[in-house]
A and B are shown apart, each in its own frame.
Chain A
Amino acid sequence: MAYGTYVVKRVLLIIPILFGVSVISFGALQLLPGGPVEAAFGTRANAELVEQLREQYGLNRPVYVQYFDWITNIVFDLDFGQSIRTEREISELLTTSLPVTIWVAGAGALVSVVIGIPAGIVSAVNHYEPEDYLATFLAFLGLSIPNFFLGLVLILLFSLYVPLFPSSGFVSPLDDPVQGVRHLALPAITVGTAISAVVMRMMRSSLLEVFSEEYIRTARAKGLSRALVTNKHAVKNALIPTVTVIGLNFGYLLGGVVIVEQIFAIPGLGRLTLTAITTREYRVLQASLLVIAFMFASVNLVTDLVYAYLDPRIKYD
């Protein structure tokens, strides 16, 4: 199969998945005992008010009509409806929290690369030497430390004992670069650590694979130094699978962001989702689930396409 055909097939395949995702996100509301209006108002709701609100939000119509209405408004007008409790436009809530989440996720990915790639190189170059064992051990630690524990430890060390960084809040680096970076530092390390371990292990194993290739031996035989061969030839080729592994772990990254936003009180999508759950704002929950799943699916798609493009050996199936 040609690459073009693969792209078309892969893009078309995402449509039924997004449809399924939208049905699940919408279904969350339907499974709820009582329904969204009762959920939002709890015991304060009287029957008359509930009926009036159900009428107002169109909740007395058949479920499939409600779903169709909901999804067409989103697809054609980016209209996610209103929050029942605060009466704010949900699209407005999403546009303020989405960039925040992208900042945190991006900073986390950056941390994972900045730690993981050099560590992987050091590990592979010193294969089966103490450096390699140390890096591998640290990678296992990084994978095993829960991000919510790491976050608390970082707050304890670097914002309570040694007050270098703030322990909560968010400032966009576009508004104030210094404060922005200070606020992002601890959350980014918290999210990035586990992924840096995955990146390190991937970088190590793909670099070792490249080292065994013919052209590396040729380069060494020509008399080029080990450092030169590593930097000039090997690292570049080992980067391809390493970068894709970040894409493959995007779901993990997003999951981490949800937790980190809660620890550091960052007003992103994760916090919006959790607040929607505790305040029983199911319309907001539906919308944020849909947006997160959409982000996740898009990144997976791009990762697959990039990987297939870069690696001609892949079989498109």
Chain B
Amino acid sequence: MTEPQTDTTDESSPPPGAALLSTGRRIFAESRLALLGLAITLGVVVTAILAPVVAPYDPTAQNIAEAQLLAPSLTHPMGTDQLGRDVFSRVLYGAQLSLQVGLIAVGVAIAAGVPLGLIAGFYGGYIDETVMRSMDVLFSFPAILLAIAMVAILGQSTLNVMLAIGITYTPIFARVTRSGVLSVREETFVDAARAIGDTNRSIIARDILPNVVAPIIVQATVSLAFAILAESALSFLGLGTPPPDPSWGRMLSNSRNFLQTAPWTAVFPGLAIMITILGFNFLGDGLRDTLDPQNETEEGGSI
């Protein structure tokens, strides 16, 4: 952070929300990529919300006798799967599941990682060492493998998938937050707050946190893409969302047996994942360019 918001110590300053909103306007004026990303992301969100209205069929309704593996047509725009379920409806409802898992998983990672990073960065010393070395241990497993192992231990359920992905991404948020804290910890306005007798808790919440929000938002956007990808990957491996819920990853996994005869069962859910991830990547990249110009290539892409 090169521009700490020194005005946050001032009682009469506008609420941080207003500053965030004007930054938001600036980002989308400057970066077309971010705008495109936002459009795709909003499209996915709207799809998820409107799924019950738009979907022509119940996503879990089977019809093996009459509608097994039908090719795309007017009645079934994306064809049907091996159980006669409408692929279009399942793809639409899949957006709901993906976003839900992604948001909660990233929420878990933020809820755990940000406080850890704040504490480690602010207090330093052995607290910092202990927290960050434990994060390093979690970082020593490839992300998807750690998630796989955790689901194996916790048991297979949608909730555990969210928890596993959330814990896997906790160290990233702890690191991002900590490095933000380190760069503002020595600023004059922190000294000033200390001099007028503010408690540590109040300094962290009112002076430090608002200044590390930007890199956390960038990281959250990028992590959403990875969390959605991770859920699909786990489901693809048969460890994610249990059936019959329409998970894109599981749909792809099921399609493997009919790849040649019914490629539509693979292509549409695959494209759905790809477009969603693309949207979040565009958005994250655009946000990074404007909000966090120093951090160019850190963690280019680790799932």
Give residues in A with beta carbon < 8 Å to B: 16-18, 20-21, 24, 28, 31-32, 140-141, 143-146, 148-149, 152-153, 155-156, 160-161, 194-195, 197-198, 201-202, 205, 245, 248-249, 251-252, 254-256, 258-259, 262-263, 273-274, 277-278, 285, 289, 292-293, 296-297, 300
Contact = CB atoms under 8 A, between A and B. Distances in A.
Contacts of A245: 297, 300
Contacts of A143: 277, 281, 301
B26 interface: no
A144 B272 CA distance: 11
B252 A285 contact: no
A285 B152 contact: yes
B53 interface: no
Nearest to A253: B142
17 contacts: A20-B137, A141-B278, A149-B266, A149-B270, A149-B273, A194-B301, A249-B302, A256-B303, A258-B145, A259-B144, A259-B237, A273-B148, A274-B148, A277-B149, A292-B142, A292-B145, A296-B141
Given A251-B143, A252-B301, 17 more contacts: A20-B136, A140-B285, A144-B225, A144-B281, A146-B229, A146-B277, A152-B266, A156-B260, A194-B301, A197-B301, A205-B296, A251-B141, A252-B142, A263-B256, A289-B141, A292-B145, A296-B142
Given A146-B273, A149-B266, A255 B144 contact: yes
Contacts of B255: 152
Interface residues of B, number: 48
A202 B300 contact: yes
Interface of B: 133-134, 136-137, 140-145, 148-149, 152-153, 225, 229, 232-233, 236-239, 249, 252-253, 255-256, 259-260, 263, 266-267, 270, 273-275, 277-278, 281-282, 285, 296-297, 299-303
B300 A249 contact: yes
A229 B151 CA distance: 52
B274 A146 contact: yes
A145 B274 contact: yes
Contacts of B239: 277
B148 A148 contact: no
B252 A148 contact: yes
Contact of B303 (A145, A255, A262): A255
A254 to B, nearest CB: 4
Contacts of A197: 301
Contacts of A140: 278, 281-282, 285
B136 to A, nearest CB: 5
B72 to A, nearest CB: 16
Q: By DSSP majority rule, is chain B's interface helix, strand, loop, or mixed?
A: helix
B266 A201 contact: no
B252 A149 contact: yes
B140 A32 contact: no
B22 to A, nearest CB: 28
Contacts of B297: 201-202, 205, 245
A109 B263 CA distance: 29
A20 to B, nearest CB: 3
Nearest to B255: A152
A32 B151 CA distance: 11
A248 B233 contact: no
Nearest to A241: B297
A250 B297 CA distance: 15
A141 B229 CA distance: 14
A31 B153 contact: yes
A202 B233 CA distance: 26
Nearest to B133: A16
Contacts of A16: 133
A152 B133 CA distance: 39
Nearest to B235: A148
A197 B303 CA distance: 14
A153 B236 CA distance: 15
A13 B270 CA distance: 41
B136 A17 contact: yes
Contacts of B137: 17, 20-21, 24
B233 to A, nearest CB: 6
B145 A289 contact: yes
A16 B135 CA distance: 12
A273 B142 CA distance: 13
A197 B297 CA distance: 12
Contacts of B296: 205
Q: Which of B232, B237, B253, B282 has the most CB of A within 10 A?
A: B237
A201 B153 contact: no
